[in-house]
Amino acid sequence: MAKTKLLANQPRNLLIRGGRIVDPSQGIVAIGDLFISEGKIAWLNAGRGGPLPENCRVIQAKGMVACPGFIDLHCHLRQPGFEEKETIATGTRAAAIGGFTTVCCMPNTNPPMDKAAVVEYIKSVAAKEGAVRVLPVGCITEGRKGEKPADFGELFASGAVAFSDDGSPVSDSNIMRSALEFSRDSGLPIIDHCEDLALSQGGVMNEGSVAAKLKLKGIPAAAEESMVARDIRLARLVCGRLHIAHVSTAGSVKLIRSAKEEGISITAEVTPHHLTLTEEKVIGYNTSAKVNPPLRTTEDVEALISGLKDGVLDAIATDHAPHTARDKDCDFNTAAFGISGFETALGSLMVLVHRGNLDLAILISKLTCEPAVILRKNDIGTLKPGAAADVVIFDPNKEWVVNPDEFVSKGKNTPLASSVLKGKVMATLYGGEVVYKDESVKLEPLSKQIGVKGG
């Protein structure tokens, strides 16, 4: 695999030439040029903008796709408190390599994001050390203990973009009701990790024949679905904004579909690993495939893909969960849950496109404009003129081998090690600056280009 570079402070005028521009926010799928000036999208499609300045640089994107930078609604940057697993610096650099220009970091840190001071700390570190935009998600309960609601107003004022106790469910229905009431008034979504702990307690993988064969305690689909059903009822009761995290079962898809048909304000996300892997990956006691919610069955995967296609599932989120080798190199029952997902997300998802399971424009929509709608941010996830120049350029046909030792993320825990993926991010721009590019991608002055003219 070609070596990679992380760059910054590049010239503010850049032409991406001859790529396949895909922007679902505008319904655009066309071969053309994209011009960026002073950190903003200036115009797309040659001939529609003004003349190009002499200090313009050019990226030749023939055969590649240029689209809005990906938005991840759900990741774990681990800082503060678990810097041995990941930091904001390493996590956002890994995100850039994966094509993500906006990431929403979950609050299961130490201390957790239940106070304005923690949110402000994360924003400060991200401003100094982050390679891409970091949006903090505040806690639903104090200390994520599930006992007392956090101060939603304080967290809202400090810049939290959503609320969640991710990693833990909100088991107390009255607290969940209060959170949803605040979401109705503030417009910020409540992101719930749906898990009935009484049903899942002690479980380490999907409940079924594979778990029985391996003599491992399973987590039934009902553990997720019962909490999804409860949350839907509460959202209906108070007209709150509910977002279901990492949907993994066919039953959950059915419940969400019915709720949407009823007009309840509900959105949902699914991860790359739940879309592409099954419980079979656990065979051999493969701890890199231990994740919560667990990898499910082929039937569940098919339902999740269908849910993406028909709009029941609104977004694809990585649930990037980096761990140390010590966390995973142990007995399956004691190994940590989680997969490091930033750097393999696109490559793993492109298998759905290459197999004909999912249209490329739908895939990109679920990674860009639809997550932006959930966050109610209209200046990201789009290539509209005047929007922030967050752009990813990827080669949909480039094959590469997953080598966790080459990950920028501190988390090397992936079930995709040694897999050959088809589809690779070649460059990522954040605010018009090249924060990542593959070494094979040339960034050249306009003067070296033949036939490049202003509009």
Q: Which domains does the chain have, with CATH numbers?
A: 4-66+389-448 (2.30.40.10), 69-375 (3.20.20.140)
**More confident position, 331 or 5:** 331
**Concatenated DSSP letters of 240-305:** --EEE-S---HHHHHHHHHHHHHT--EEEEE-HHHHH--GGGGTTT-GGG--SSPP--HHHHHHHH
Tokens of 276: 């592409």
The tens digit of pLDDT for each residue in 151-167 reads 999 999 999 999 999 99
DSSP state of 19: E
The tens digit of pLDDT for each residue in 271-327 reads 999 999 999 999 999 999 999 999 999 999 999 999 999 999 999 999 999 999 999
| Average of per-residue pLDDT values in the chain | 94
Position 265 pLDDT exceeds 60: yes
Euclidean distance between the first and the last CA atom of the chain, given in angstroms as a whole number? 37
Amino acid identity for residue 284 in this structure: G
* β-sheet bridge partners, residue 421: 400
Position 448 pLDDT exceeds 70: no
Report the pLDDT value the prediction gives residue 47, as an integer from 0 to 100. 44
Record the pTM: 0.95
Question: In Å, how far are 194, 200, 298, 407, 454 from 340, measured between CA atoms?
Answer: 21, 23, 22, 9, 43
The region of weakest confidence among 27-31, 53-57, 275-279, 433-437 is 53-57
Catalytic residue among 72, 166, 314, 319: 319
The tens digit of pLDDT for each residue in 173-199 reads 999 999 999 999 999 999 999 999 999
Position 12 pLDDT exceeds 90: no
Q: Is 319 labeled as catalytic in the residue annotation?
A: yes
C-alpha 76/C-alpha 105 separation (Å) is 5
The tens digit of pLDDT for each residue in 137-155 reads 999 999 999 999 999 999 9
H or E stretch at 57: strand 57-60
